[in-house]
């Protein structure tokens, strides 16, 4: 179990260092270090992501660095998408969900290999329907595989929502918390029908350690070259994503 708590700390550290991407480690830690069943791990990941991202968003709310317009445009469709994704998960085998999750890891790695996102300015704020559509799509992904999706939300808010980076990060954290809790609530019902129940002690302890890690990572992040760190983490995601994809595709085929 000590390895699981170290994994929780790593999740928080990555989130604090990079501003996104940390939650994508939660499911592998719960599956491979804690030994949780696939579906239970995905559901518990959403609960953990909800708490960590909400606490992480509070300083941005206090400083007025959250765009409530984009929380509404992106977050509400995201909540609908996450709820629907959690509902659809009961028709999917856990191995398929993890295979999709591995694909998301590879997508996250590709996004992290890219250079810093340019700020297009405020002329794209009129494209509200694209922000809503993107919010629904990311929310659907959140509900199916249990990731916060910050690596997708931040670029969408900058390029489609016209937000500067300092607003996009705070807004993204708040959006992640509201859509993750939507998917988590539905998963409680889905899991009860399958005979599972949430391990609340695990969710709370994991979240607490992750929150501490995120604050440590935030402090250390200002001294670490972000571009190099993202490339190293992207390589790690590629390796882990390939292994998870191979294992779960093999189990479905076999």
- Look up residue 149 and give its DSSP letter: -
User: In terms of Cα–Cα distance, which of 177, 214, 212 is closest to 50?
Assistant: 177
Residues of the chain with pLDDT under 70: 1-2, 16-22, 115-127, 221-222, 226, 254
- Tell me if 74 sits within 8 A of 131, measured CB to CB: yes
**Can you give the pLDDT at residue 22?**
65
pLDDT of residue 127: 65
* Predicted local confidence at residue 113, as pLDDT: 76
Alpha helices, H only, the chain = 2-18, 26-28, 38-62, 68-70, 76-88, 94-113, 128-145, 150-159, 165-193, 200-221, 226-253
Q: Which pLDDT score, from 0 to 100, does residue 87 have?
A: 95
Q: How far apart are CA 38 and CA 96, in angstroms?
A: 10
What is residue 225's predicted lDDT score, i.e. its pLDDT?
A: 74
Measured CA to CA, the distance from residue 142 to residue 158 in angstroms comes to 20
pLDDT at 116: 57
Q: How far apart are CA 50 and CA 72, in angstroms?
A: 17
Given this model, what pLDDT does residue 119 score?
A: 54
pLDDT at 123: 47
CA dist 22 and 209 (Å) reads: 13
Q: Are the C-beta atoms of 138 and 8 separated by less than 8 Å?
A: no
What is d(CA 158, CA 216) in angstroms, rounded to the nearest whole number?
26
């Amino acid at each position: 179990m000590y390895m699981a708590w170290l994994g929780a700390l790593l999740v928080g550290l990555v989130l604090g260092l990079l501003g996104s991407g940390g939650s994508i480690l939660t499911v592998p830690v719960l599956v491979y270090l804690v030994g949780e069943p696939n579906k239970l791990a995905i559901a518990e990941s959403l609960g953990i992501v909800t708490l960590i991202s909400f606490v992480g968003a509070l300083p941005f709310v206090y400083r007025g660095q959250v765009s409530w317009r984009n929380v509404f445009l992106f977050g509400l469709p995201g909540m609908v998408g996450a709820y629907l994704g959690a509902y659809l998960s009961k028709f999917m085998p856990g191995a398929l969900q993890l295979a999709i999750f591995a694909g998301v890891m590879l997508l996250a790695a590709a996004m992290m290999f890219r250079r810093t996102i340019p700020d297009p300015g405020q002329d794209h704020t009129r494209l509200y329907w694209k922000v809503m559509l993107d919010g629904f799509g990311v929310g659907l992904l959140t509900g199916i595989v249990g990731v916060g999706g910050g690596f997708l939300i931040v670029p969408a808010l900058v390029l489609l929502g016209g937000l500067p980076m300092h607003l996009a990060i705070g807004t993204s954290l708040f959006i992640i918390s509201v859509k993750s809790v939507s998917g988590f609530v539905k998963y409680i019902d889905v899991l009860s029908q399958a005979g599972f129940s949430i391990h609340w002690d695990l969710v709370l302890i994991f979240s607490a350690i992750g929150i501490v890690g995120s604050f440590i990572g935030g402090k250390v992040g200002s001294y670490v070259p972000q571009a190099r760190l993202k490339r190293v983490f992207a390589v790690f995601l590629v390796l882990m994503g390939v292994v998870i994809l191979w294992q779960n595709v093999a189990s479905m085929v076999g």
